[in-house]
Copies of this chain bind each other. A is one copy, B any other.
């Protein structure tokens, strides 16, 4: 399927233009960071293909592409943790998307049951690095 988004023309247009020309990688994916609109916590990192990005824009509900299952994925369909998009942004070279969302259901985002996927701190140690569970 052809991408519903235009391709970028120049570096100047990419960085300073007003046309959304998302740059998908060789697998047709763009990375998406999803944050909580109220707390600003980073909830998760996931990927979108052109279709999930289009659906997210069109419906106002976050859709992703599951790399492990190779399927389009409307977040919350099974968990109830539907993500309503408050704001979408892109970065300077348009190869990343940032969502600010309001989460339905229990407000969580992680499949482990935790509110955020980033529930462990990384601490340097003599023999590599250890993880510490967080509660905030």
Contact = CB atoms under 8 A, between A and B. Distances in A.
Interface of A: 4-6, 15-20, 31, 33, 35, 40-42, 44-45, 57-58, 87-92, 96-98, 110-112, 114, 117-124, 128-134
Given A16-B112, A89-B122, 15 more contacts: A4-B128, A6-B128, A17-B131, A18-B130, A18-B132, A20-B129, A31-B45, A40-B41, A45-B91, A57-B129, A87-B121, A90-B120, A90-B122, A92-B117, A96-B117
Given A17-B131, A19-B131, A130-B19, A119 B97 contact: no
Nearest to A132: B18
A14 to B, nearest CB: 10
